[in-house]
Each structure stands twice: as C-alpha cells, then as structure tokens.
Amino acid sequence: MLIRHLMTPRPATIGPDVLFSELLAAYRDMESQLLYVVDAEDKLLGVISSYDILRVMLPFYLDSNLAKALPDDAAIIRHAFAACRSLPASAFMTKEFIALRPDDPFLAAEALFAERGVNILPVLDDGGRLVGELARRTALKHLAARCLLDHNAE
C-alpha cells in the first residue's frame, strides 16, 4: 500500500503571517490535528499542533499544583490570549518535521510513527509542496478494511 492511497489530501493550511487570533479561530473548526504553514507555492514551512498552541498561551512555569491553586483560570487564559494574539504563525510553528512522500510504502510510515512518537505526518511531493497528510488512525482504518476484506475472501 502506497501513502498516496491512504493519505488525506488537502489538509488545512495557513500562511506564515497569519496571526495567532486568526489561527485559533481556524483551529477550532478543523478536523486535522495539525495545521500546516505553507508559503505561496504550498511548500511546507512548519507545522502547528495543539501542543504548540497551548505552549504559546500557557505560562511555562505552570504545573499541576499551581494550576489547582489558581482561583480563576479564565482570567489567566484571557490574559495569555491577549499577550499572544498578534504573534504570526511563523513565530511558534515547529520548523523541524519529518514527512512522507506519496510513493512511500505504508510500512515506512508506520516505522516513522513509531520512531518519532507521532500520530500524523505531512505528505510532500518531490518539490517539498504539501499534498496531504497521513494519520495513524486513517492508516489503521485502511489496514483493517484490507485485512477484513482478505479474511472474508478466504
């Protein structure tokens, strides 16, 4: 099975200059776990995960004990949002990422999922342009369907 047959085409993208406030609004309605930052030619510059968004908004010193002791977390969240609302996506995107190619085999994707401890990977063409994404869950659904089809054919 090749990645091109398993991937989800046209995942959500934004430009590097999109502000945090716009990004947060877009993220709320997305189905993907990642938001891809691309240039005008769709070349992948970076990825933004929910972890990246929360890392920007929440204080670095916050731990579970301190969080329990805070009287009003809504005020802290409003303050954090106000402080980062004008940041461009390029300021907090993850620039180091691993990617798949459409003609990579499924087992290569599974090996990368396991080695990197991730559950979703971008798919790039030979020019570095984003053409899709492959989520581990999507790959598992295809694998399950294939196995059940083969099993029922026996």
Q: What does 120-136 look like in DSSP terms, one character per residue?
A: EEEEE-TTSBEEEEEEH
CATH number of the domain bearing residue 45: 3.10.580.10
Number of domains in the chain: 1
pLDDT at 36 over 80: yes
Side chain identity at 16, as an amino acid letter?
Answer: P
How far apart, in whole angstroms, are the C-alpha atoms of residue 140 and residue 58? 33
Bridge partners for 15 per DSSP: none
- What confidence tens digit (pLDDT) does each residue in 37-65 have? 999 999 999 999 888 888 888 765 566 66
| pLDDT value, residue 150 | 63
Task: Pick the most confident of 4-13, 49-58, 121-130.
Answer: 121-130
* Domain ranges, residue 48: 3-153
Q: Which long-range contacts (CB under 8 A, 24 or more apart) does 83-86 make?
A: 84/20, 84/56, 84/57, 85/19, 85/20, 85/21, 86/19, 86/20, 86/21
Nearest Cα to Cα of residue 113 among 127, 129, 133: 133
| pLDDT value, residue 25 | 84
What is the pTM for the complete model shown? 0.82
| pLDDT value, residue 153 | 66
Question: Quick one: average pLDDT of 13-21?
Answer: 94
